[in-house]
C-alpha cells in the first residue's frame, strides 16, 4: 500500500516561515505530479502548489512569491517552503501525489492525513 506522511506544521507568528515535508512510501512504481492543498475552517479544499515529475510548478495566486514547492524524486518527497506567512494561511495542509503503484495498475490520487498550520497575528 502507498502512504503519504506529512510533517512540519505548527504555530507561527505572521511574517514567519515554515517548511512542510511529505514522504511517499510503500508500493510505488512511479510518481507523477505532487502537490499541496489546504482547507481552512468552513472553506473548501484548495490547491496551494503543485509540481510535476519534471519540475514544472504551479501556484495559487494567493501564495505566489511567498511559497515555494520542490521535490526530491530519489526520496519520493515533496516540500513546501512557506515564507511571509499570513493569518489567512491558517489551514490544514494536505499532501497529494498521483502514483502508479505497479506497471499493471493505473495512476491514482493518494492523500496524506494533513498537518495543521496556524499563523497568529
Mean pLDDT estimate for the chain: 97
Contact between 37 and 46 (Cβ < 8 Å): yes
Contact between 6 and 37 (Cβ < 8 Å): no
* Percentage of the chain lying above the pLDDT 90 cut: 97
Contact between 117 and 90 (Cβ < 8 Å): yes
Cα–Cα distance measured from residue 32 to residue 121, given in angstroms and rounded to the nearest whole number = 37
Task: Judge residue 24's burial from the number of C-beta atoms within 10 Å of its C-beta, 0-12 exposed, 13-18 middle, 19 or more buried.
Answer: buried
Q: Which helix (H) or strand (E) holds 107?
A: strand 107-111
pLDDT per residue over 96-108, tens digit each? 999 999 999 899 9
How do 10-13 and 115-120 pair as beta strands?
Answer: parallel
Cα–Cα distance measured from residue 72 to residue 65, given in angstroms and rounded to the nearest whole number = 21
Report residue 46's pLDDT band, with 50, 70 and 90 as the boundaries: very high
Amino acid at each position: 500500500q502507498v502512504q503519504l506522511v506529512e510533517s512540519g506544521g505548527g504555530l507561527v507568528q505572521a511574517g514567519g516561515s515554515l517548511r512542510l515535508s511529505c514522504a511517499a512510501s510503500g508500493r510505488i512504481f512511479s510518481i507523477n505530479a505532487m502537490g499541496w492543498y489546504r482547507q481552512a475552517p468552513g472553506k473548501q479544499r484548495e490547491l496551494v502548489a503543485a509540481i510535476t515529475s519534471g519540475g514544472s510548478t504551479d501556484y495559487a495566486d494567493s501564495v505566489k512569491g511567498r511559497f515555494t514547492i520542490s521535490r526530491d524524486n530519489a526520496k519520493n518527497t515533496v516540500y513546501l517552503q512557506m515564507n511571509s506567512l499570513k493569518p489567512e494561511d491558517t489551514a490544514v495542509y494536505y499532501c497529494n501525489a498521483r502514483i502508479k503503484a505497479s506497471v499493471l495498475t493505473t495512476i491514482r490520487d493518494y492523500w496524506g492525513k494533513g498537518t495543521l498550520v496556524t499563523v497568529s497575528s
